[in-house]
Amino acid sequence: MSMKTQRRGRLVGLGAALAVSTVLLAGCMGNAGSTSSSAGSDAATTDNGSATLAMPTEPANIDPIMMRSLSAWNMYYAVFDGLTRIDAKGKIQPGLATDWKSNSTQDVWTFTIRKGVKFQDGSELKVSDIVYTYDKILASDKSTNRVAIAMISKVEATDDHTVQFTLKNPFSAWLNQVATIGIVPEKVYEAEGPEKFPNAPVGTGPYSFVAWNHGVDYKVTRNDDYWGDKAKIKDITFSFVGAPDARVTGVESGSLDTAIIPASQVPVFDGAANAKVIEAASNQVAFIGVNTTAGALSNLKVRQAIPLAIDRKSIVESLLNGYASPTGEPVAKGVTGYVDGFSTPKYDPAAAKKLVEESGYDGAEITLQYPSTGGSPTDPEVAQAIAADLGKAGLKIKLVGAEQSSLSLSLANHQITGLYLNYWSPSSMDGDVVVSQLLAGGPEDYARSPEMAQAYLDQQAANADKRTDVFKKIWEWNATNVSNVPLWQNTNAYATASTISWTPAVDGIYRAAEIGRAAK
């Protein structure tokens, strides 16, 4: 539960989470007037209604072969299906596969494919379409999805209803990974190619594509021949609304039905008759990344001073309006890898200052890079507060602001000069990718620890009941060596029309088919 909920009795519960990655923001949704955990998922719904869902960013591409993007997944989950499905609570459910199994070493996975599934053009799903989708991704050096399945050694149809993956190494999170890969029809994709397919995509999902008005919106309509539960609302529009103020006024005016809003704007909806606010715990963790090889930061005592110097509680209360919960681990509650009871560093400025003095720090300038625009609206203030806290511990901090895309490029290219403010929220709902990127050789790992490289492989190979133990050892190593400094798990506020029936998903990605509208 967030600190805001503890402090303000008028907010009565948590919805599920929004996920935002280091680079890309997910689409969001909401409700206003009173605050609740959902808008009432059991309310009567209209069969042929419509809804407009606001998204802070427009994907550059909406092609499951070529693009891996949090914002694009909002459309993927409407138009396409994966072999498995991550439900609103972050749990794995059957998708195009009805069941699955792995060998004892978790490097061979076999899936039984659902019978009678049709693509939206009426053609039947074949196992060959699944094999094609994965092979096509692996064959493209331009696909951003390729890295997500690079561990595949071979994918093959063993019969008309079975597909088998042979991996290069054990991978316990494979069920989460395949949930994010939308299956395309081979015949259509070969005919259209990556240039034309995104503008007229065909999948097996609960909605069929209608139109993509670039820079404006993306429209879908209910697929009445869908193999699973039919969508509750007939027509859905994903509206691209980048400005937070515009999302607030959009819900107020009724032009938007759902939108994520800044915590500071929650009071706007107090007493509103036609809208309300949903408080939803996010799977996004804010942290300070550390280039452990840069100047003074190569000194362990300097790094160990940083977690003690930051007053998390004060920043959460004063700048985030209580919409966060301090944490000491890089993954959020609800994500595989979260360790219950793992300690959060206590604010101890005296101990931090002592460590800095003992380190022999000579006053050399340490940069703190942060998103000045394009990230969270509070990022500049948060960065300033952190810099002030570190200054009290005796560190000389130079703030360096940049547009989010520019900072993301620096992250991807391993070009951070000191400290940086960032966020991680794995859409797969598994900590594997977080460890990989931050601690085990990824672009945000500067320590390059052989111990962590091995620990990463250990957690991949561990059975489900043993993975938490491995994650705990990884987080303990990070707490001691300070390769990054976890700050808090964010909580999001969603403004939503009062007629909308919806519970936010734990990863923050729209499950459009599950959104309903109360009959007027």
Look at residue 39 and tell me whether its pLDDT is greater than 70: no
> What's the token pair of residue 497?
């029309």
Quick one: pLDDT at residue 465? 84
DSSP one-letter code for 199: G
Average pLDDT on 299-309 reads 98
Q: Please, what are the domains in the chain?
A: 13-61+208-281+492-517 (3.40.190.10), 78-199 (3.90.76.10), 284-490 (3.10.105.10)
Which residue would you say has higher pLDDT here, 483 or 375?
483
Residue 33 is predicted with a pLDDT of 34
At 4 the pLDDT is 47
Q: Which of 10-19, 334-343, 350-359, 374-383 has the lowest mean pLDDT?
A: 10-19
What's the pLDDT score for residue 446?
Answer: 97
Give the span between the Cα atoms of 53 and 241, in whole angstroms.
10
- Assess contact for 236 and 78: CB atoms under 8 A: yes
Name the residue among 173, 68, 102, 108 with its Cα closest to residue 456. 173
For 407-427, what is each residue's pLDDT tens digit? Answer: 989 998 999 999 999 999 888
For residue range 362-377, list pLDDT tens digits in order. 999 999 999 998 788 8
Q: Please choose, from the candidates 101, 92, 62, the residue with its C-alpha nearest in 3D space to the C-alpha of residue 184.
A: 62
Contact 175, 183 (CB under 8 A): no
CA–CA separation, 500 and 39 (whole Å): 6
* Distance separating alpha carbons of residues 44 and 520, to the nearest angstrom: 9
Q: Is the pLDDT of residue 18 over 50?
A: no
pLDDT value at residue 460:
92
Flag whether the pTM goes above 0.85: no
CA distances from 141 to 61, 65, 138, 150, 284 (A): 16, 11, 8, 11, 29
| Ordered DSSP codes for 451-487 | HHHHHHHHHHHS-HHHHHHHHHHHHHHHHHH-SEEEE
Contact 515, 15 (CB under 8 A): no
The 10s digit of each residue's pLDDT in 81-125 is 999 999 988 889 999 999 999 999 999 999 999 999 999 999 999
Half-sphere exposure at residue 187, Cβ-oriented, CA atoms within 13 angstroms: 8
Report the chain's mean pLDDT, rounded to a whole number: 89
Q: Tens of pLDDT along 157-168? A: 999 999 999 999
Please, how many CA atoms are within 13 Å of residue 454, restricted to the half-sphere of its CB?
Answer: 5
- Nearest partner of 502 among 82, 27, 57, 91, judged by Cα: 27
Amino acid in position 196: K
